[in-house]
Structure 1
């Protein structure tokens, strides 16, 4: 028999509970156990006036932002609409049925003011990392570091050639992203990372780097740098930089130092790809931090023309000389070249002229010279580690950080930035990393309500 037609009849009284309507298995219910915002008011208190009308609760704004980044809701205008309609979102944000959702413009006002003034998003991220440590998901024994390019909100059609003169001071009066760009020109992660003039500069976001690193169409991008603990792939630090190798390597050092200072985590080994295998980086890890570099050595000494490469020359550490394949000695004067990081060891012209191996050694030079980095001992340490089974394991574990970047772009939909400027990129990367750690906590630490009796 056909059922009766449903007729909307208003009732005088309703009994409705959000608590009952949010399933025990809902992601936000699982995440809510790990969201501790008790310190937010203390951090923000100096930035609020003691008089006037009460402002929007900052905890509400933070909870809404977490909802947006956990579910890949990129627009704050759309986020407000979704929170207004979705019962689970309302429950997580503590709004109830009658609570009023703030206007989307409130996020911009707080982000550019109070939130950045007290570095709130960094504190929120570190609070979640501390919870991961407390839950036993981080042991600090092994870290992995890598960077991924995230497209900037910049259009090549409105860019200018890097060699052109631009009056940035005038543009900065009306554009926050340009002011941030000018403020970071002397920072190692930004303007000071390289003296190379980029091919194009975006007037809307000049800190974004024009790059063709993906071997396809070039685009403007920022680098999102992750430092993760390999036990459960928890992100222990995150940093935004220019999308060039020098800035990314510098960010790795910054994150390792900051993690030790703020979280008291000091790894025994660090896993990375060849981009981090430069001599100076390996020297810093081995000599200054006593960390094992499970990193391929960045080495261009090999030769493809059939002549002897540097590997064919034996180094005598005690005498500080190189021995060539013919048994002759190459010595150094001790003068440093290449920005003070390289010693040159030269053979005697008299020995080379009479040597029958000269056509295979230095056919176009009077005598052979061999460069040696002042960090060569650290490079040798990395080469020896590369021969071990532990190194093979590390290379396999490094995929965990690549999976995090894939999750960031495909699930959280952060394949293109919405905010502009270095601070905008930093805010987005911090919130996304916080959301990823919260989702990992919810996955690995089951809710007591879901555990069998």
Structure 2
């Protein structure tokens, strides 16, 4: 007989979420594993004693974790999604008939809580991974990638020159007094703060673009390339910076710098930086924070892996002082030696092809702040040399300038071209780069949905927390612990039982 289901809503219902959520469900295991009770103590001073109760801090962070686990970056869509998932409601501690917090409350609470609170939650999740044996600490891979900011290139405006603005503020001060000057400074737009030589380089680049043919690719479009962080900014999000990846259009981005432990791919550090800075200028801060976090968990770092963007003499020296082996390839323009000019380490001098000395003369600093060691030949030696037109055609004598970190560069160059160096390069590529791909594609880090560098840092921390939690639960965290000895004993017991039954079922042959 054909069956037919008739549905009629019941006025009263006996229902428990815990009975409907499976034991191995991700959010059930997460609720049983992650203890966030410390948030009540750490957020108590952020609230007053009167007024309406705010959103529960534990519920707030559980909502954020759910959003990044589900790859949902919109607070409005997140609340709608959570209301339709029984396992998420059980994780949040809400019943079916309870109303979830309003989406705007999530945004306001995110702005209220400091970055240190998000970092404390990251440290707690990282400690869970350490306790489960997923972090070795010895080898860390560092890399960075631009993340799209919540700002458009169409809203970029020029910065005001410094001198006319100073004259304007002086005039306002004379007319309205000190109070007027203070208000004018507060409301004034951004000033050009780049050095003169950098502005000249930008102007030369723009002049070449105007005179050259217009190209159609987004990364090299004339109008977009005429914009520079030295002369333009976005008033909607002043912390966002113009940057470009090869083959991509110029956008306003933040730089996501990250460190990953090579044992199981656990993120050991993540931070938001300005996108117009060099990767190399952030390595020291990353190294110190990673070492401190590992030290708090009684782990020791010995090796650091990074790409050529982190190649810098001061970085090599910093790693050696911290007793770390830096597997960072030197940049392409570095030359381990000067052809035809051998170096004498004992005398600290070079020798020219005619065996004349170029002794060390002193230190100097170029316009970029790089400290150089200068070696000069005597003018009388070069004056009588037949090779001067080829060796030093425009100067009185041959001059050689080398970085003060030349020895550190040479040691890094030797490590780079060793067999171990090639292995470390493959290890870095297989560790940190897939993690970046996972964060951008599956953990809500394709675009920063908030404003400001501090907000971007919170977003990156929450994406890393969700990633580490997912990996922790996948590798066995939160499941009942089963002794290896018990597994072996159960297997042996099973083999003995099978052998016993096989002996009993074997026919007995009686020899006549």
1:279 equivalent in alignment to 2:313: yes
Q: CA contact under 8 A between 1:292 and 1:382: conserved in structure 2?
A: no
SS state at 2:49 partner: coil
Once the two structures are superposed, the pairs formed by residues 312-351 of structure 1 within 5 Å of their partners are 312-338=340-366, 339=369, 341-351=371-381
1:427 equivalent in alignment to 2:458: yes
1:432, distance to aligned residue in structure 2 (A)? 0.7
1:158 equivalent in alignment to 2:189: no
Distance 2:273 2:184 in 1: 22
| CA displacement, residues 380-411 of structure 1 (integer Å, 9 cap, x when unaligned) | 22112113222112101112111111111111
SS state at 2:120 partner: helix
Q: CA contact under 8 A between 1:315 and 1:323: conserved in structure 2?
A: yes
| CA displacement, residues 18-55 of structure 1 (integer Å, 9 cap, x when unaligned) | 22322344333344454221211111122223344433
Distance 1:222 1:171 in 2: 29
Distance 1:313 1:141 in 2: 40
Distance 2:69 2:184 in 1: 35
Q: Could you say which residue in structure 1 is the equivalent of 2:426?
A: 396
Q: CA contact under 8 A between 2:132 and 2:477: conserved in structure 1?
A: no
Distance 1:450 1:140, change over 3 A: closer
Distance 2:11 2:446 in 1: 49
Q: Could you say which residue in structure 2 is the equivalent of 1:189?
A: none
| CA displacement, residues 143-199 of structure 1 (integer Å, 9 cap, x when unaligned) | 1111110111111222112466799x979989xxx9xx99xx9xxxxxxxxxx9535
Once the two structures are superposed, the pairs formed by residues 39-118 of structure 1 within 5 Å of their partners are 39-113=38-112, 115-116=113-114
Structure 2 residue aligned with 1:448, among 479, 485, 503?
479
Q: Could you say which residue in structure 1 is the equivalent of 2:208?
A: none
1:72, distance to aligned residue in structure 2 (A)? 0.7
SS state at 1:391 partner: helix
Q: Could you say which residue in structure 2 is the equivalent of 1:9?
A: 8
Q: CA contact under 8 A between 1:332 and 1:343: conserved in structure 2?
A: yes
Distance 2:131 2:88 in 1: 27
| CA displacement, residues 40-92 of structure 1 (integer Å, 9 cap, x when unaligned) | 11111222233444332110111011000111111001111111111111011
Q: CA contact under 8 A between 1:211 and 1:219: conserved in structure 2?
A: yes
TM-score of the pair, normalised by structure 2: 0.76
| CA displacement, residues 403-450 of structure 1 (integer Å, 9 cap, x when unaligned) | 111111111242211101111111111111111111111222265369
- Counting matched residue pairs gives 427
Q: Which has the larger radius of gyration?
A: 2
- C-alpha RMSD over aligned residues: 3.1
Q: CA contact under 8 A between 1:83 and 1:89: conserved in structure 2?
A: yes
Distance 1:401 1:30, change over 3 A: farther
Distance 1:337 1:54, change over 3 A: closer
Q: CA contact under 8 A between 1:362 and 1:368: conserved in structure 2?
A: yes
Q: Could you say which residue in structure 2 is the equivalent of 1:211?
A: 243
Distance 1:152 1:373, change over 3 A: same
Structure 1 residue aligned with 2:413, among 366, 372, 383?
383
1:301, distance to aligned residue in structure 2 (A)? 4.6
Once the two structures are superposed, the pairs formed by residues 194-273 of structure 1 within 5 Å of their partners are 197-246=229-278, 248-264=279-295, 265-273=299-307
1:354, distance to aligned residue in structure 2 (A)? 4.7
Distance 1:46 1:89 in 2: 29
Distance 1:172 1:103 in 2: 37
Structure 1: where are the runs of 5+ without partners?
Answer: 186-195, 303-307
Q: Could you say which residue in structure 1 is the equivalent of 2:175?
A: none
TM-score of the pair, normalised by structure 1: 0.85
Distance 2:275 2:22 in 1: 42
Structure 2: where are the runs of 5+ without partners?
Answer: 169-181, 194-227, 491-512
